[in-house]
Amino acid sequence: MDNRDIARRLRETADLMEVAGEDSFRIRSYRKAADAIDAATVPLASLCDDPRRLLELPGIGKTMCGHIVELVGSGQLGLHQELLARFRPGMLELLQVSGLGPKTVALIWQTYNAGSLDEVEALAKAGKLRELPRMGAKAEEKILRGIAVHRELSGRYRRDQIAAVIELLRPVLSGAPGVTQLAFAGSYRRGKDTVGDLDIIASGPGFPQQGAGVVAAFLAAPRVDTVLAQGENKVSLRLQGDGLQVDLRLLPPESFGAALQYFTGSKQHNIHLRSRAQQLGLKLNEYGLLRDSDGVMIAGATEEDVYSALGLDYIAAELREDAGEIEAAASHSLPHLITQADIRGDVHMHTTASDGRASILEMAAAAADRGYQYICITDHSQALAMASGLDERRMLEHLAAIRRDEKEFQASHPGFRVFAGIEVDILSDGRLDMADEVLAQLDLVIGSIHSRFDQSSEDTTARILRAVGNPHLDLLGHPNGRLLLRREPYQYDFERILDACQAAGVAMEINASPERLDLNDVQARRCRERGIPIVINTDAHHPRHLDNIGYGIATARRAWLEAHDVLNTLPAELFLSRLRQ
């Protein structure tokens, strides 16, 4: 049982305790313990022999220590089991539904003895939920919508979840006997925000026949739950916990490139590519590019060979959606996609002044370590009280601290800039929740929507448009604002918002936090087409979150963005002047 599993079990316990109506502070301590376990750098299982070391972790006391030892020892937690027996496993899923919280779930359970997605959906459809106190037709409708969204998204996995699995499997597979090449393909490689499964290609001399070693290593990998299929060419299995399906395919080196191309997709891109091959008298499959007439293989060892033999420039995986990339590759007009190395600064991050985990100086040091030349500190404003957001007085103090710390940091890092900003909330009437005279003193003002808002598209559009009209607003942060895999995106008239941004000189953010799906491919592309500047930020709450920039880069590449489309590829002074022009 690894740290992730332990943390998950404690979080589930907290969820169920919430339904049971337990003390909220007691519940919070379970979640805090889970957070601490996720943040721990040592496997907890290795500490269980000496519980004193467990107690050193923040938020882990005597009871949690006992829970951890129990989980590591038996793989189960008595309290967790009891709660599951008292309620029902389906309740954990119900709590994931947007609009359904512990109180409502508990009420439905007490009244109707219903505790699963199907049961609650049936009750809602039968109009039974509106009979409950404080519930009405609208609430019922909202729950049905939440269930529909949940159904649509379940079985999809966030990019960072897949990255964690890859981190686990890569050393196991690359070190397996006979493996000379290894690649993770599928929609993950295409840079999608969410993926349905993970495709792995391994090749080595004599594969697949000589690949027994890698199959054995795969089957013995950590977190393997069940084997779904096992043949000579392919092994499929399901992982414990989240149930992710992972497919491993074995191929000889001469087919590696063709297989990588084939299993990277997308389906539409491959269909188009195969028809192009056909027109050239060729046949393309996962083993190679073959001549129709005699079946001789012309290419297959590398993807570059395959594209080249088809008369195409190499097409980056992120572009492979059959959205004009094949035509562009044929006419040598593919974009020079932005890369991580182009980014010179990250201008959306939090510190301990609101809900971040590190100080201004620690964030600056982390950014400098990653080769950046500037950052901007953008803590939350007061509307996000839960994150201990700043009111005017605290913001002014924070501003002074940022200016002070910048000077101090420049002593060891000459020229490094620490800008002062804020992430304000766009309230329902379009106002920003911070006085203009304070905003005027800041280098960067990011407007975001945090509060729940599922009114009509017209209302949301008006809300954002009004905020864009505020002369102090520089950057529109996650207007789409949904937590990935959980919520419906806000509906609004994006073109009208872009009109307003263009008129007001407001830039758009790509928020690289793995939990946010903020500017989707289409939106980022529309910004590029309309010449609206984009800023790629991580929204870091911890120094290590700065590494998430890769997720934003993937989104940007999918939207065909080049370095000059993105403002934070500019040096510090130019960045600020372009942003505030």
Binding site for DNA (CB under 7 A): 23, 25-26, 28-30, 32-33, 55, 57-65, 97-105, 107, 130, 133-140, 142, 146, 355, 382-388, 425, 427-429, 433, 450-455, 459, 482-483, 486-487
Strand (E) or helix (H) holding 163: helix 159-174
d(CA 436, CA 470): 9
Question: What's the min distance (Å) between Cβ of 503 and DNA?
Answer: 24
Question: What's the min distance (Å) between Cβ of 481 and DNA?
Answer: 7
Give 124 or 376: the residue with its C-beta nearer to DNA.
Answer: 124
CA distances from 431 to 75, 395, 579 (A): 51, 18, 21
> Which among 376, 373, 368, 363 has a CA at the least distance from the CA of 571?
373
Pairing of strands 245-251, 198-203: parallel
Question: What's the min distance (Å) between Cβ of 388 and DNA?
Answer: 5
Question: What's the min distance (Å) between Cβ of 429 and DNA?
Answer: 7
Percent helix / strand / coil, the chain, rounded to 5: 50, 15, 35
Beta-bridge partners for 566: 534
Question: What's the min distance (Å) between Cβ of 25 and DNA?
Answer: 3
Give 388 or 502: the residue with its C-beta nearer to DNA.
Answer: 388
Tell me the two tokens of residue 187.
């929609």
Tokens 């709590």 map to which residue? 95
> Which among 398, 288, 300 has a CA at the least distance from the CA of 350?
398
Give 29 or 373: the residue with its C-beta nearer to DNA.
Answer: 29
- The order of strands in the sheet holding 297-299 is 282-285, 288-291, 297-299
Which residues does 241 contact at the CB level (< 8 Å), separation at least 6?
4, 5, 8, 223
Give 430 or 505: the residue with its C-beta nearer to DNA.
Answer: 430
Question: What's the min distance (Å) between Cβ of 138 and DNA?
Answer: 4
Give 321 or 459: the residue with its C-beta nearer to DNA.
Answer: 459
Provide the residue type at 438 as one letter: V
Q: Which residues of 167-179 are buried (b: 16+ CB within 10 A; e: fewer)?
A: eebeeebeebebb
Question: What's the min distance (Å) between Cβ of 537 and DNA?
Answer: 16
| Count of beta carbons in the 10 Å neighbourhood of residue 278 | 12
Tokens 């800023």 map to which residue? 535
Question: What's the min distance (Å) between Cβ of 59 and DNA?
Answer: 5
Give 365 or 427: the residue with its C-beta nearer to DNA.
Answer: 427
CA atoms within 13 A on the CB side of 210: 12
Give 492 or 575: the residue with its C-beta nearer to DNA.
Answer: 492
Question: What's the min distance (Å) between Cβ of 67 and DNA?
Answer: 8
Tell me the two tokens of residue 159.
């990019």
Which residues does 197 contact at the CB level (< 8 Å), separation at least 6?
186, 244, 245, 246, 247
Give 65 or 549: the residue with its C-beta nearer to DNA.
Answer: 65
Give 291 or 394: the residue with its C-beta nearer to DNA.
Answer: 394
Question: What's the min distance (Å) between Cβ of 35 and DNA?
Answer: 10
Give 356 or 421: the residue with its C-beta nearer to DNA.
Answer: 356
Question: What's the min distance (Å) between Cβ of 75 and DNA?
Answer: 20
Q: Cα angle at 539 between 36 and 500, to 5 degrees?
A: 150
Which residues does 291 contact at the CB level (< 8 Å), separation at least 6?
281, 282, 283, 297, 298
Give 37 or 185: the residue with its C-beta nearer to DNA.
Answer: 37
Question: What's the min distance (Å) between Cβ of 96 and DNA?
Answer: 9
Tell me the two tokens of residue 396.
């002014």
Give 366 or 424: the residue with its C-beta nearer to DNA.
Answer: 424
Provide the angle, in degrees to the nearest 10, between the axes of the packed helices 159-174 and 212-219: 130
> Which among 483, 471, 466, 465 has a CA at the least distance from the CA of 442?
471
Question: What's the min distance (Å) between Cβ of 530 and DNA?
Answer: 28
Total count of residues recorded for the chain: 581
Tell me the two tokens of residue 200.
């792995």
Give 234 or 482: the residue with its C-beta nearer to DNA.
Answer: 482
Pairing of strands 444-448, 475-476: parallel
